[in-house]
Structure 1
Amino acid sequence: MANEDEARDWNGDIGRYWADHAEHYDAMLARLTPHLLGAARIEPGERVLDIGCGCGTTTLLAAEQGATVLGADLSGPMLAVARERAAGLDGVRFEQADVQVHDFGAGTFDLALSRFGVMFFDNPLAAFTNVTRMLRPGGRLAFLCWQDLRENEHRALTLDAIAPYVDTSDAAPPGPGPFSFAQPDYLRELLNGAGLTGIAVDAVREPVRIGADAREAAGFLSRGAMVKAIFERYPAETVERAVAALTEALQPHQTPDGVMLGAATWLVTARKP
């Protein structure tokens, strides 16, 4: 099975956490999502594949622009939220599928898009080659992915705050994960190898909302996959000290809109010849 580890994670605790906090994640990414939709240039009547659709936010936004949209994801818990959100709507459906290997049909889609859902393939070249095959000639690809961890304040600040108490050296291991597409040259080579042209990798920086206040933000970051995996190796009293330090580090970033931290992403677009 392709992406077996990712399928296990996204149908386990990680997927359930995202499903339970879908509104929080949407608020966090609210300033980034319009960049993706603007680059996607969705036209009424187009057929769209939303890769790694998660809880369906971008799927529904694409449908609002008149497209017929298929949201695909590995995560059963997240798709359950997506289907609930889409209840009664025409032109939207969801399928639990691995886009790296699943066959939705050659030339089926005018557009494939993704909001942070493409960095988890264990064979990215095979995955994007499959996506290219499923696009019609002239079809488009648009996605957001994270730049390097240290360029993302919401990640770097977290690790710096907890580092005096826990070992953070393996927070971003090689292989599939949030930062696997951090290098733009690699992205261009990958998409070119998958048969795509007109490749553009543009930097997008926006603040992201982590929580209403420092305490909520620290709790949210502490239960996310990256930090949770670190904390699981330590006793409760050590974790408590680390979370207290993180809470303190977040306090200067409190604004009237909540705790806001910088985020650095790549907005990637390409097309099928």
Structure 2
Amino acid sequence: ELTMIVWRKREDNPWLHAAELCVKEIVPVVSHEETNQVHCGPGPFSMAGPDMMSDMLSGVGFERVRFERFDADICIGRDLDESVEFAMALGPAGEIIRLAGDEGVKRKDKVVSALRETMGQFKRDDGIWAPSSTWIISARNPA
């Protein structure tokens, strides 16, 4: 029996996607091929597609592949500063900044200001909480 959790598509995960959209308005997007900066590989949403995941699991012998959607708010910081630091370090927004190299560094102040505004929409009394969405995938291998 296999059970795993994967992120659903980025649009269903504002906790990462909102920061990505914000940063894209400020920092030029650089292709992985155009830089020697370290990148995140396939990325956190690479297994978001149920059809692709079903085909992949079936292709290696799994059957009765099931997807159960699970949505929950996720804490991305105790305060705005921590959530901005998180967004700039991880995920698609952080990767855009890293891949841009010097251009990302030059725009840091503007990015921080814009991310504070973007992350502010998720502020609660107990921190910065944003919607997230995952698939809980289960499958059985009869072998």
**TM-score (structure 2 length as normaliser):** 0.82
Which AA in structure 2 matches 1:250? Answer: M
Q: 5+ unaligned residues in a row in structure 1: which ranges?
A: 1-139
> Does 2:10 match 1:142?
no
What residue is the counterpart of 2:79 in the other structure?
A: 213
> What are the residue-to-residue correspondences of 1:227-238 with 2, within 5 Å?
227-232=93-98, 233=100, 234-238=103-107
Tell me if the contact between 2:24 and 2:96 (Cα under 8 Å) persists in the aligned partners. Answer: no
The more displaced of 259-268 and 221-230 is 221-230
CA distance in 1, matches of 2:31, 2:67: 27
Q: CA deviation at 1:167?
A: 3.0
SS of aligned partner of 1:144 = strand
Identity %: 25
Which deviations, in whole Å up to 9, do the C-alpha atoms of 1:181-221 show, x marking residues without a partner? 11101111111111111210111111110001111101111
Q: CA deviation at 1:169?
A: 7.8
Q: CA deviation at 1:243?
A: 1.6
CA distance in 1, matches of 2:54, 2:74: 26
Q: CA deviation at 1:247?
A: 0.8
What residue is the counterpart of 1:166 in the other structure?
A: 27
What residue is the counterpart of 1:156 in the other structure?
A: 17
Tell me if the contact between 1:153 and 1:262 (Cα under 8 Å) persists in the aligned partners. Answer: yes
Aligned pairs, how many? 132
- Larger-gyration structure (1/2): 1
Which deviations, in whole Å up to 9, do the C-alpha atoms of 1:100-143 show, x marking residues without a partner? xxxxxxxxxxxxxxxxxxxxxxxxxxxxxxxxxxxxxxxx1000
What residue is the counterpart of 1:192 in the other structure?
A: 58
Q: CA deviation at 1:168?
A: 4.5
> Does 2:126 match 1:260?
no
Which AA in structure 2 matches 1:241? Answer: K
Tell me if the contact between 1:159 and 1:168 (Cα under 8 Å) persists in the aligned partners. Answer: no
What residue is the counterpart of 1:251 in the other structure?
A: 120
SS of aligned partner of 1:182 = coil
CA distance in 1, matches of 2:94, 2:42: 18
CA distance in 1, matches of 2:65, 2:30: 33
SS of aligned partner of 1:181 = coil
Q: Which has the higher contact order (CA 8 A, sep 6+)?
A: 2
Q: 5+ unaligned residues in a row in structure 2: which ranges?
A: 33-38
The alpha-carbon distance between structure 1 residues 225 and 261, as it changes in their structure 2 partners (threshold 3 A), is: closer
Which AA in structure 1 matches 2:85? Answer: G
SS of aligned partner of 1:160 = helix
Extract structure 1 runs of 4+ deviating beyond 6 A. Answer: none
Q: CA deviation at 1:145?
A: 0.5
The alpha-carbon distance between structure 1 residues 222 and 203, as it changes in their structure 2 partners (threshold 3 A), is: same
SS of aligned partner of 2:107 = helix
Aligned with 2:108 (options 235, 239, 257): 239
Which deviations, in whole Å up to 9, do the C-alpha atoms of 1:13-35 show, x marking residues without a partner? xxxxxxxxxxxxxxxxxxxxxxx
The alpha-carbon distance between structure 1 residues 245 and 225, as it changes in their structure 2 partners (threshold 3 A), is: same
**TM-score (structure 1 length as normaliser):** 0.45
CA distance in 2, matches of 1:179, 1:223: 17
What residue is the counterpart of 2:139 in the other structure?
A: 270
Q: CA RMSD in A?
A: 2.2
CA distance in 2, matches of 1:261, 1:168: 24
Tell me if the contact between 2:44 and 2:91 (Cα under 8 Å) persists in the aligned partners. Answer: no
CA distance in 2, matches of 1:168, 1:155: 16
Tell me if the contact between 1:209 and 1:258 (Cα under 8 Å) persists in the aligned partners. Answer: yes
Tell me if the contact between 1:162 and 1:243 (Cα under 8 Å) persists in the aligned partners. Answer: no
